[in-house]
């Protein structure tokens, strides 16, 4: 049987899962391709580090160019992460005629367009299924299975760390900091958690999905991002009482006029398919003009689920090599759609305001909302200690800029102690 040699850059969480699947399922994989996949080299930084998976052959190297420059290697899987040196290594591998598989959302979101063009110009494949939502096959779903649709909307829970934190806060009533340190000790959250909890990981992922769905380049910096540090146990409790769950939702909406792509903590009604996607699980909801609504739910991170996506892409490349049909890159950007301003978007909103418990406090706030064309769907007031009251407002669909302008004016009222939270509500 023909051998296809694969070089792997990185042997951490994803690299070791990838190698394990290739080794454990070798016979089935060979049968599916009609060729044998041979992991011929794996690049790491530290040769002495203990590894979770033992390689069948002594193939570790600390020189990535042993992979990018090896003429026998046909597929390079980049599983290092970050933009550099990953990007330079991928460029070098493409220049040397390799097909590329990557799990690297930051690299794909920031410089993926140029890399895909380089791969296409060289007649090589460029696949990236693992870069969004780990084991969930959302890239192939959008790029191939739904390619006949006009995708109207995507909404996703695409970051497992924040979903784990919000789920624990919901189930245990615990504060953000406490759950974050638990997640760090369990190895779910990084020691430096900003990429997850401040929303940047989700920002990269939704930029990739929007680009696939709308066929447009998406500048990552234009994707509005709001993390979850300011979500309090009180918001979670109040949202629950109102019949909602708070989730970090990455959304992309497209029309011929432009697109809106953003990441925000959002209240979801319990009937929404993403409301019950809990723990480290991810979920992606897609609305297409032909297919209607569909939701994919699964493991968005971890060694084997992410390795599953990487191995799927390696098999895809290998089949194309066997068929003499490489050169396929996901269709992403044929034009540049404008990014529509978030301020002019419409949504329901939840706002929690603390006031001095005095006559006319509620009326004063209601008047300001009305003056800004913000129509109220429901309002709940509760007396609190220290002669304060908490007022929770849920609006009808209103313009985002009107809500923010109203809340700024409300904040300045002498009777208002604080505007604690303002969050979008999805129906």
Options 11-19, 246-254, 281-289, 374-382: segment touching ligand NAP (CB under 6 A):
11-19
Binding mask 41-60 vs ligand NAP (x if CB under 6 A, - otherwise)? --xxxx--x-----------
**How many residues appear in the chain?**
427
Q: 178: exposed, middle or buried (C-beta count within 10 Å: 0-12, 13-18, 19+)? A: middle
User: Do 209 and 143 touch, CB atoms closer than 8 A?
Assistant: no
Is the CB of 89 or the CB of 333 nearer to ligand NAP?
A: 89
Is the CB of 108 or the CB of 398 nearer to ligand NAP?
A: 108
Rounded to whole angstroms, the Cα distance separating 95 from 110 reads 20
For residue 405, the minimal CB distance to ligand NAP (Å) is 38
Options 12-20, 239-247, 324-332, 391-399: segment touching ligand NAP (CB under 6 A):
12-20
Interaction residues for ligand NAP, span 109-138 (CB under 6 A): 130, 134
Options 263-271, 299-307, 347-355, 373-381: segment touching ligand NAP (CB under 6 A):
299-307
| Residue 355 CB contacts under 8 Å (≥ 6 apart), including other chains | 361, 362, 365, 388, 389, 390, 391, 415, 416, 417
* Interaction between residue 79 and ligand NAP (CB under 6 A): yes
| Residues near ligand HSE (CB under 6 A) | 134, 159-161, 196, 201, 300-301
Vertex 282 angle, CA 186 and 314, to 5° = 95
Interaction residues for ligand NAP, span 353-392 (CB under 6 A): none
Which partner from the list ligand HSE, ligand NAP, none does 159 bind, CB cut-off 5 to 8 Å by kind? ligand HSE
Vertex 349 angle, CA 346 and 355, to 5° = 140
Classify strands 292-299 and 346-356 as parallel, antiparallel or unpaired: unpaired
For residue 97, the minimal CB distance to ligand NAP (Å) is 21
Helix (H) or strand (E) holding 395: strand 388-395
Which partner from the list ligand HSE, ligand NAP, none does 156 bind, CB cut-off 5 to 8 Å by kind? none
Is the CB of 50 or the CB of 414 nearer to ligand NAP?
A: 50
For residue 159, the minimal CB distance to ligand HSE (Å) is 4
- Of 85, 115, 293, nearest in space to 211 by CA: 115
Which partner from the list ligand HSE, ligand NAP, none does 161 bind, CB cut-off 5 to 8 Å by kind? ligand HSE
Point out the catalytic residue in the list 124, 205, 247, 348: 205
207 conformational bin, left if phi > 0, alpha if psi -120 to 50, beta if neither = alpha
For residue 302, the minimal CB distance to ligand HSE (Å) is 8
Residue for token pair 């992991």: 39
For residue 227, the minimal CB distance to ligand HSE (Å) is 13
Rounded to whole angstroms, the Cα distance separating 192 from 120 reads 36
Is the CB of 66 or the CB of 182 nearer to ligand NAP?
A: 66
205 as an active site residue: the answer is yes
User: Do 295 and 91 touch, CB atoms closer than 8 A?
Assistant: no
Catalytic residues: 205
């Amino acid at each position: 049987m023909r051998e296809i040699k694969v070089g792997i850059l990185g042997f951490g969480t994803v690299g070791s899962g990838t190698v394990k699947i290739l080794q454990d399922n070798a016979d089935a994989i060979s049968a599916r391709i009609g060729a044998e996949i041979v992991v011929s080299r794996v690049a790491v930084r530290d040769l002495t580090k203990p590894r979770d998976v033992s390689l069948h052959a002594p193939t570790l190297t600390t020189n990535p160019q042993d992979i990018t420059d090896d003429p026998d290697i046909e597929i390079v899987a980049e599983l290092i992460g970050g933009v550099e040196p990953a990007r330079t290594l991928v460029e070098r591998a493409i220049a040397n005629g390799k097909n590329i598989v990557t799990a690297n959302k930051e690299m794909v979101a920031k410089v993926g367009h140029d890399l895909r063009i380089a791969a296409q110009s060289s007649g090589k494949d460029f696949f990236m299924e693992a870069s969004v939502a780990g084991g969930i096959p959302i890239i192939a779903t959008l790029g191939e299975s739904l390619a006949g649709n006009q995708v109207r909307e995507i909404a996703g829970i695409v970051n497992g760390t924040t979903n784990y934190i919000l789920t624990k806060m919901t189930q245990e009533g615990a504060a953000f900091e406490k759950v974050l340190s638990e997640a760090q000790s369990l190895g779910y959250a990084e020691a430096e958690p900003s990429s997850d909890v401040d929303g940047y990981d989700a920002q990269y992922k939704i930029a990739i999905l929007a680009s696939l769905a709308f066929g447009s380049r998406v500048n990552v910096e234009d994707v509005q991002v709001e993390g979850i540090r300011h979500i309090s146990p009180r918001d979670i409790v109040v949202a629950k009482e109102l019949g909602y769950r708070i989730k970090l939702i990455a959304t992309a909406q497209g029309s011929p006029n432009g697109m809106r792509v953003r990441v925000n903590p959002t209240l979801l009604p319990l009937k929404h398919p993403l409301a019950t996607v809990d723990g480290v699980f991810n979920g992606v909801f897609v609305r297409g003009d032909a297919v209607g609504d569909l939701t994919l739910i699964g493991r968005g991170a971890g060694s084997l689920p992410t390795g599953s996506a990487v191995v799927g892409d390696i098999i895809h490349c290998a089949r194309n090599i066997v068929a003499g049909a490489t050169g396929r890159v996901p269709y992403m950007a044929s034009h540049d759609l404008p990014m529509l301003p978030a301020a002019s978007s419409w949504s329901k909103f939840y706002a929690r305001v603390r006031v001095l418990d005095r006559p006319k406090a509620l009326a004063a706030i209601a008047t300001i909302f009305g003056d800004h064309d913000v129509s109220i769907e429901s309002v709940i007031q509760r007396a609190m200690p220290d002669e304060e009251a908490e007022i929770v407002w849920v609006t009808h669909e209103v313009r985002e800029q009107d809500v923010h302008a109203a809340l700024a004016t409300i904040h300045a009222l002498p009777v208002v102690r604080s505007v604690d939270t303002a969050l979008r509500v999805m129906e």
